[in-house]
């Protein structure tokens, strides 16, 4: 019973390793580029959301209000990524 | 103007002081007398609807007469309610310190300029989108022209932004989060609702804009510009009401002098608003106050006996 369990685990581990190997072979080279693009897309989105706070009028600002709480964590990551240690403008309390 | 009574949404607009509120109230009264369920909405911060019907109104609808309901929208109230709602949802989302910080961030965002206008727009758009469920006709008595046009053109600018935002959000999401992302869903829900509002607003069968003007030089210019802007926004001008025209039976030297002056303006109005249905409402001997005095205006607007529309 115990032996059969160990055998199944070994197969599962092997399966996972093979999958990871194939994934790495296929995407590894592009991972850096893909991540960079993802970051750029995120930055664009955050910028569109928070333009109003930087003094650029945003006609959709009212409806973004309900989105801000959902973006709270991402906002923090974003301003850190922009190289701003503390929350920008001082008016946005997140750190 | 009787043909306008078959629409579902009518906006009344014009320069300040030309009698928008009176005309809107009179038309709402006429429609309700013909057996239709009517909601009269005042978005004018001056709130003179209460004056005309001699009863107070607020943000929830109140029965004025059988099948005639009234509501006065207060933009500051609307904004507060919306922010409270978002705050409650934020509180449910976070715990402890994070909640406090998220709420503070919300507070900053809620203090942005233009919040009240946006809240007013949001309420108007919801009333237009949902009115068919509860009323046959909704009549909006709007604030003076510039303000109202801005209000009705808001969706175009807002849509462009929301589309850009939703698109950008979708682009950054990995495949496995496409279906569950609350932010993309919230944005797309707004787009769908704005689409529905704009669809109703620009449908000739559903919505009409009634421009009220008086035979004087300045209101004519402003109203003509408003008609152009409305056409650009794709909103149908259902009729032009020429209010406070000197009654035929009035006489005397002074009145005759005024009438000569008025004739010039009336000709100008005929020329500038030729493509539209035009109705003249004679100046009343007394202030319009109370239901009885509205009836004379209503009769002038839709013609004939009110009970037999």
B202-253: pLDDT as tens digits: 999 999 999 999 999 999 999 999 999 899 889 999 999 999 999 988 889 9
Q: For position A90, what pLDDT does the model report?
A: 52
The verdict on a CB contact (< 8 Å) between B94 and A49 is: no
Chain B residues with CB-CB distance to A63 below 8 A: 118, 122, 158, 162, 187, 190
Q: How far B46 CA sits from the closest chain A CA (Å)?
A: 24
ipTM confidence score: 0.71
CA B115 – CA B109 distance, rounded (Å): 9
> Which of A60, A70, A91 has its CB closest to that of B165?
A60
What's the pTM value of the predicted model, to 2 decimals?
A: 0.82
Token pair of B140, please?
């909006």
* Residue of B76, B166, B172, B190 best to disrupt the A interface, most CBs of A under 10 A: B172
pLDDT in tens, A10-59: 888 888 989 988 888 888 778 888 888 888 888 888 888 888 767 777 88
Is the pLDDT score of B168 beyond 60?
yes
What digits encode the pLDDT tens for the residues B179-198? 889 899 999 999 999 898 98
Phi, psi dihedral angles at A2 (to 5 degrees): -65, -40
Whether B143 has a pLDDT exceeding 90, the answer reads no
Question: What's the pLDDT tens digit per position in B1-60?
Answer: 888 989 999 999 999 889 999 999 999 999 999 899 999 999 877 778 888 898 888 888
d(CA B214, CA B281): 9
Confidence of residue B254 (pLDDT cuts 50, 70, 90): very high
Query: Best residue in B168, B174, B177, B191 to probe A by mutation, most A CBs within 10 Å?
Result: B168
Mean pLDDT of A63-73: 85
In this prediction, residue B87 carries a pLDDT of 86
* pLDDT value, residue B239: 94
Query: Which run of H or of E encompasses B231?
Result: helix B217-232
Residue B246 contacts residue B283 (beta carbons within 8 Å): yes
Q: Which candidate, B77, B2, B84, places its Cα nearest to that of B47?
A: B77
């Amino acid at each position: 019973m115990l032996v059969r369990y160990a055998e199944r685990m070994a197969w599962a581990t092997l399966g996972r390793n093979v999958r990871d190997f194939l994934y790495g072979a296929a995407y590894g080279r592009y991972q850096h580029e893909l991540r960079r693009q993802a970051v750029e897309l995120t930055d664009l989105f955050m910028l569109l959301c928070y333009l109003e706070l930087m003094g650029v009028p945003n006609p959709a600002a009212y409806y973004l209000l309900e989105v801000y709480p959902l973006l709270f964590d991402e906002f923090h990551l974003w301003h850190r990524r922009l190289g701003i240690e503390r929350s920008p403008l001082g008016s946005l309390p997140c750190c | 103007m009787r043909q306008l009574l078959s629409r579902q949404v009518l906006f009344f607009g014009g320069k300040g002081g030309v009698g928008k509120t009176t005309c809107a109230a009179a038309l709402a009264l006429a429609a309700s007398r013909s057996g239709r369920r009517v909601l009269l909405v005042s978005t004018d911060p001056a709130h003179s609807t209460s004056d005309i019907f001699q009863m107070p109104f607020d943000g929830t609808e109140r029965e004025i007469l059988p099948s005639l309901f009234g509501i006065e929208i207060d933009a500051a109230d609307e904004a507060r309610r919306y922010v409270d709602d978002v705050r409650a949802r934020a509180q449910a989302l976070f715990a402890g310190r994070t909640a406090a910080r998220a709420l503070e961030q919300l507070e900053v965002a809620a203090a942005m300029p233009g919040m009240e206008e946006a809240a007013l727009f949001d309420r108007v758009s919801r009333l237009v989108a949902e009115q068919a469920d509860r009323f046959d006709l909704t009549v909006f008595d709007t604030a003076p022209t510039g303000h109202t046009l801005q209000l009705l053109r808001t969706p175009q600018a807002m849509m462009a932004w929301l589309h850009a935002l939703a698109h950008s959000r979708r682009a950054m999401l990995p495949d496995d989060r496409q279906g569950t992302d609350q932010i993309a869903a919230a944005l797309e829900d707004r787009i769908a609702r704005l689409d529905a509002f704009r669809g109703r607003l620009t449908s000739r069968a559903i919505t009409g804009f009634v421009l009220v003007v008086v035979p004087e030089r300045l209101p004519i210019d402003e109203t003509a510009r408003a008609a152009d802007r409305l056409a650009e926004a794709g909103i149908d001008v259902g009729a032009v009401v020429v209010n406070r025209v000197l009654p035929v039976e009035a006489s005397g030297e002074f009145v005759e002098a005024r009438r000569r002056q008025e004739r010039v303006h009336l000709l100008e109005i005929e020329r500038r608003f030729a493509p539209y249905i035009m109705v003249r409402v004679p100046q009343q001997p007394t202030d319009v106050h109370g239901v009885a005095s509205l009836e004379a205006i209503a009769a002038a607007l839709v013609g004939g006996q009110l009970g037999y529309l």
